[in-house]
Structure 1
Amino acid sequence: MVLAILFQQPLQDAWFRIRRRSATAVRSLTFREGDTPLSTWSTFSVGPLQTSALVVEGDGEQAIAPESVRVRVLEGEVVLPEEMASWRAEIEAVEEQAEASGTRVRIWNGPRYAVEGLEISRTALEEHADVVLRLRPTDYFTFLAAQQLDRRLPDGTTPRRRYLDPDRPLEAPAFLQCSFGVNIAVVTADHLLVVSRRSDHVRSGPGLWGSSVNEGLSRHIDSAGRTTPDLYDVARRGMSEELSLERHEYTLTMLAFVLDVERRQWSAHFTAHLTGLTGEALRTRISRGVADRWEHQSIEYVPFRPADVMRYLLRPDRVRRWAPVTPALFHLALVHTHGRSAVERAEAQAVRRMR
C-alpha cells in the first residue's frame, strides 16, 4: 500500500507521456506532404467542445502580475465607417421608440472602451509577460452596431469579410472591438467552482452558462475622475456587484488575455479563491441580495477537481450551451491550481469516455 501511494502519480504521469508520444509517432507516420498546416492561432477546444476563444497570452501556470499590465487610453472616440453608421442610428431610433411607446425599458447607451490593440513582450531577465492594452473611447450603441459582423453592406460584403482576416486574428480595426471585460473563476473555501447561468434578458449570450463573474469595462465607472482603468479593480467590482464579496475575502490572480474571435470581444481571465466562505456560506450571502442579480438566473457548484470540471463541461445537455470564453477560463484556473499534466490527463480521459 505504501509503494502504491508513493508511485501511483509518477506511474500515471509516465503512462500518459508514453501514450502521447505514441500518438505523435502515429500521426508522423500518417502525415502526407501537402497536408494543411495547423495554425498557431487555434481557438480553445476539448473534444466535441469547440469554442471561438483564442488564448492570446497566458497558460494558467504563471500568473500575470498587476505591475505587468499597463493600460493606455487614447484620444478620440471610435468612428464607424459611413455604411455602418446608419446601423447605429437604427439602434438609437429603436430605443427611443421603445421608451416613447412604453413597450419596454430603454437600453442605456453607456460609455465603453474599444480595444485599439494589445501588445505583448517579455521582461529581459525573468521573461515574465509585459502587456500594454491600448483603449479608445466608444459607447454601447456603437458596440451593438459593430456586433452585426455578418450583416450585408451595400456592396454585398460583410464587416467580417471586409475588415477581418482569419489568419491574422489580432489585427482588426478598433470599431469592431468595442468590448473588453473580465471573467473570473471563483473557487470557494471548500473547493467548489462557482458556475453561473446568464439571464434570458441580457443582450449578450442570454441563457448561456458562463464564468462565476463577468464584468464589462465601463468608461463611466472604471475611469471616474479621468483615471486610467485598472483591470484588477474591474474584477473586484464584478466580485462585489455579482457575488457581494469584499476584496479581503479572496485572493485574485490574473491568468490570461483571451479574444472571442467570432464576436471580437476581449477578456482578461482571473481566478479568485475565497479565503473563508464555503459554498453554502456564499449561497447564503447571495440570498441576502446582490447588486446585479438580474444578470444571472441560476448558480451551480462543481467540485474543483480536473475530472469533475471536465465531465461537467462535456455534459451532453451543457456542451453547446457555454459562453464562448468560459471553458478556456475554467481550464486555465484548473491548470493554475492542479498543474497542466493533471488537467490534460483529465481532459483526455473525459473525451475518451464520450466515445
Structure 2
Amino acid sequence: MGGVDVVNGVAGAVIGMLFAVLFQQPLQDTWFKVRRRSVGAVRSLRSRSESSPSWTTFSLGPLHTSALIVEGDGEHPIPAEGVHIQVLDGETRLPGEIAHWWDEIAAESSRLQEEGRTPVWNGLRYAVESLDISRTPVEEHPEVRLRLRPTDYYTFLAAQQLDRRTPDGSTLRSRYLDPDRPLEAPAFLQCSLGVNVAVVTADDMLVVSQRSNRVRIAPGTWNSSVNEGVSRQIDSSGRSAPVLHAVARRGMREELSLEPHEYSLELLAFVLDVEKRHWSAHFYARLNELTRQGLQDRLSRGVADRWEHETIDYVPFRAATVAGYLLHPDRIHRWAPAAPALFHLALVHVHGRATVERAEAQAVRRYRA
C-alpha cells in the first residue's frame, strides 16, 4: 500500500505541473481581461454620470447668467439677408385658467390712471412661435427663420409670472418648461423679442447703461448700451414683418440720439434668456467719429427715452478691462441677463476669440485670488 501511495503522489504532482503549464497563463490572461473590462465599464459609467449638456448658459468664472447663445460666435456676423421673419395669423393668448391674470394687470393700470399716476400701457408686441437655424449649402452662412405671432404687453406681463400657482397648484414653469429642452416653449410664454446693442465710441469706449428704477422689468440692473423691444405699432408698417436692423437703429436714435450714418451696425447673435423666456438679437455698433465726450455732449442736448437709463458708464474697450468690469464686486450680481454675453461677443468680434478668452481667464484668476 505504501508503494501505491507513492505512485499516486508522484502522478498527482506530475498532473499538477502539467495543469499549471497548460492552463495557468490562459487563466491569468482571462482574469486580466475580465478585470480590465470591469474597470473600463466603471469608468464609462462614471464619465456618463459626469457628462454635461451642450446647451449651457453664458458664464464667466463666478458670473453666471441665464442667457443662452442660440446662434452666433461673435467672430462671424449674421448677414441681414440671412434673417427671415414671418408673422403668423392668430393672436397669442393665455390659457383660459390664467386669463384673469391679464384682467388683473388691466385693472391695476386703470387704478393707476385714476390716481393720476403713470399707467401700464398695453403696447402691441410679438410672441416668438419658433426660431429655426440652418446653413446655406455652399458658404455655410447662417440662415435664421423667426416665426412670430401678434400679442400685447399685458399678455407678456401675465406670462412673466412663471412661478405663480395656477388653480391646480402647478406653475407655468413646471407645466410648460423643460430645462433639458430650453428652445421648446409655447408662444404665450415668449412674448418678448428685442434687440441689445453694444456701442463703442470712436475713441474705443464701451457704453454701459444702468436701467432706470422706473422701468417695470429688471429695474436698476446694468445692461447693454441700447435695449429696445420690437413693437407691432412702430416696427411693422401695415402687415409687413419687422426688420431687426431697423429696430436696432430705432433704439440707437431713441436712447442715444444717434443717426444711422454715424455708426456701423452688425448682428452678432441670437440669445434666449431661459429664466424669463426673453429673445434678443445682439448687435455691435461702432461710432464713426463721435468720441465719448462727443456722445456725452450729444446726450446733454436731449434724448427721446432718457427716463429708461439711470446712469451711463464708459469702459475702455479692451478685453482685460471689460472682463474685470463685468466681475467687479458692485456689478457682478447686478447685470441684466443678456449684457455679459453681448459684451463678450463684441470683444470677440473686434479682438479675436483667443485674445478675449486669455484675458477673461486672467480676470477670473485675479477675482479668485
> Normalising to structure 1: TM-score of the pair?
0.90
User: For 1:284-303, what aligned pairs fall within 5 Å after superposition?
Assistant: 284-303=297-316
Number of aligned residues:
326
Tell me the CA shift for residue 144 of structure 1: 0.2
What is the deviation of 1:227?
A: 1.9
Per-residue displacement from partner, 1:172-191 (whole Å, max 9, x unpaired)?
00000000000000000000
2:200 matched residue in structure 1 = 187
Equivalent positions of 1:321-336 (< 5 A) are 321-336=334-349
Please say if 1:59 is aligned against 2:50: no
Deviation digits for residues 18-62 of structure 1 (CA, Å, limit 9, x no counterpart): xxxxxxxxxxx9993342321111000001100000000000000
Give the Å deviation of 1:101. 2.6
Which of 155, 159, 163 is the equivalent residue of 1:146? 159
Report the residue type matching 1:164 in the other structure: L
Partner secondary structure for residue 118 of structure 1: strand
The corresponding residue for 2:93 is 79
Q: CA deviation at 1:342?
A: 0.4
Any stretches of 5+ residues in structure 1 without a counterpart?
A: 1-28
Q: Which amino acid aligns with 1:136?
A: R
Aligned CA-pair RMSD: 1.2
Corresponding residue of 2:329: 316
**How far did residue 97 of structure 1 move?**
1.4
1:43 aligns with 2:37: no
> SS of 2:121's equivalent?
coil
Deviation per CA, 1:193-235: give whole Å up to 9, x if none.
0000000010111000000000000000000232211000000
What aligned pairs does 1:15-54 form with structure 2 within 5 A after superposition?
32-54=46-68
DSSP 3-state at the match of 2:297 = helix
Which letter maps to 1:59? D
Task: Name the TM-score, length of structure 2 as normaliser.
Answer: 0.87
SS at match of 1:119: strand
Q: Deviations over 1:247-285 (max 9, x none)?
A: 000000000000000000000000000000000000000
Give the aligned residue type for 2:91: E
> Is the partner of 1:224 in helix, strand or coil?
coil
1:95 and 2:109 correspond? yes
| Other structure's SS at 1:262 match | coil
Partners of 1:52 and 1:317 in 2: how far apart?
Answer: 19
Q: Which residue does the alignment assign to 2:9?
A: none
Rounded Cα–Cα distance in structure 2 between residues aligned with 1:63 and 1:230: 16
For 1:350, what is the secondary structure of its paired residue?
helix
Percent of pairs identical after alignment? 67
* Other-structure match for 2:16: none
Q: Give the distance between the partners of 1:171 and 1:271, measured in 2 at CA.
A: 28
| Deviation per residue, 1:87-114 (Å, 9 max, x gap) | 1111111111111232x11111000000
- Structure 2: which amino acid aligns with 1:101? E
Q: 1:30 to 1:302 in 2, by over 3 A?
A: farther
Q: Which runs of 5+ in 2 are unaligned?
A: 1-42
